[in-house]
Amino acid sequence: MRILVVGAGAVGGYFGAHLVAAGRDVTFLVREARAERLRADGLTVARLNDDLTVTPRATTAADLVGEPPFDLVLLSVKSFALDQAIADIAPAVGPETAIVPLLNGLRHIETLQAEFGDRVLGGLCFVATMLDGDVVRQLSPLQTIMFGELDGSRTPKVDAILADLQDAGFEATASDHIRHALWEKWFILASGGAVTTLLGGDVGTIESVPNGTSTALAIVAEAAAVAAAHGFEPRPAMRERAESTLTERGSDFTTSMFRDMSQGLEVESDQILGDLVRRGLEKGVPVPLLAAASARLEVYRAGRA
């Protein structure tokens, strides 16, 4: 199976490097400067217990034109880079190509389906990594890709992808309920992102102040209500996980959205919070705290412009 990994950042770089190390046929689609560095210096993943360095095949969008289509496209860009990524991968997508996006939220699925139809599968990942210069640093043992047909069917395409992703140094799982899994991850991300960015601190600090815990729990309740209104209520264990994580006494837990905002970086505010607010209002679900968090992030983004 020929695999195109779009992006060699914290997510694509992590999973792509492991696929290369496992002997899979992998090409990274990156910008020219990044391609040159990958060819010259390789791609290093600083894992929890050791380092992994591979010398991957790297290409640019211009070089894809005229090449045969790939069997699998792993799309690991940020939501604000999605439109450009769609244009870039178009030459690499043939009638039998499967596209597995690893973005957050759900709106990207609809955008990709409008362009590529049923070649788009649902996909998500659980991984805690960051890009430090050109080095991908693993921050926790989480390292899972989950994917599946959006209609819940189990197809030969899914089985073929699973066979190629398994035994590559991370966990790969095919799900017959990928939409529910996508909603649950969105619920978790939105809850954590809203709590930490609206209240402006780590969980331990938020828990220590008056009304901190009650506000965090109210945000979790709003996010769960939106998911439930769309037919994808988070399982009790997932809701309990969100509540306990976001109210733990003394915890230094923050979110990537909060860290990005603290460092003056672009944030996926509309993909994760803005879209959830809209979907809540469509169903008549009150979401005042999620809306406030979304507005807070939009003010931040306006200040960066």
Q: So which residues are the catalytic ones?
A: 185
Q: CA 208, CA 216: separation in Å to the nearest integer? A: 12
Q: How far apart are the first and last CA of the chain?
A: 42
d(CA 72, CA 165): 11
What is the radius of gyration, based on Cα positions, of the chain? Answer: 19
- Tell how strand 122-132 and strand 51-54 pair up: unpaired
Contacts of 129 (CB under 8 A, 6+ apart): 10, 11, 13, 14, 136, 137, 138, 139
Place of tokens 């290369």: 20
Q: State both tokens at 246.
A: 């976001």
Query: 294: which 2 tokens?
Result: 């979304």
Structure-token pair, residue 22: 């496992």
Angle at 163 between CA 26 and CA 83, to 5 degrees: 50
Burial class (CB in 10 A: 0-12, 13-18, 19+), 305: exposed
